[in-house]
Amino acid sequence: MTMPTEGTSTTRALRELENGDSSLRLRAALAIGTAPDPRFVDKLVERCATEPEFHVREMLTWALTRHSSSATVPRLVDELRAQGPRARSQALHTLSKIGDRRAWPAITRALLADPDDEVARSAWRAAVVLVPEGEEPGLAGALAAQLGRGERETRLSLSRALLALGEAVVPALRAAMTDPDPRVRQHAIATERLWRDPDAGFGFAIEEAKRVVALGPTGQEG
């Protein structure tokens, strides 16, 4: 990667991305995003994969969104094959913020089912942003295959992703409501309740779903 002349503010900012002080790393990411240059994309993506502080990662993502998607999207798509879960998760998060649908083919079923919950959650959010018109039912089916997974925050993320697909999600949810696994049924019923009544709240919907599953088929409403 070719760097600008030594001594410029952006060159200093690139060095400061490695500083042990998170406030300096945050300032560096802000400086790079304020003066975008495609030569800095690789360094920003590399830092996203290792940055431990959430607020700094968010600023790195913002800095990447300030660059041309023709420079950022291919590099971020490459990062989806990285071994480190943080690298995959942050690349997916950044792709969702950029919103360029040329990245859609890279959102694979393997990513949607990634064993790392944070990677999977990032993949779900990216998928519903990037899905092309007409492919929502297929995505709904892939997401529904993850129903019942994880703890509350993971399940809530999945429900939100499913609901973002609108009407396309209904057949997948109805099928999952008869799944042999009670956790899958509960999650599907709760998500379907939220689709019908968005104001119900996830906690209430889950408790109602548990009651329905415990009562069996007679407890389900039409």
* pLDDT level of residue 49 (50, 70, 90 thresholds): very high
Q: Which amino acid is at 195?
A: W
Question: Per residue in 167-180, pLDDT tens?
Answer: 999 999 999 999 99
The answer to whether the CB of 56 falls within 8 A of the CB of 29 is yes
Q: State the pLDDT at residue 162.
A: 96
Q: State the pLDDT at residue 1.
A: 47
pTM of this structure: 0.86
Question: Per residue in 127-142, pLDDT tens?
Answer: 999 999 999 999 999 9
The answer to whether the CB of 2 falls within 8 A of the CB of 10 is no
Q: What is the mean pLDDT of residues 78-105?
A: 96
Q: State the pLDDT at residue 221.
A: 45
Helix, strand, coil fractions of the chain, as percent rounded to 5: 70, 0, 30
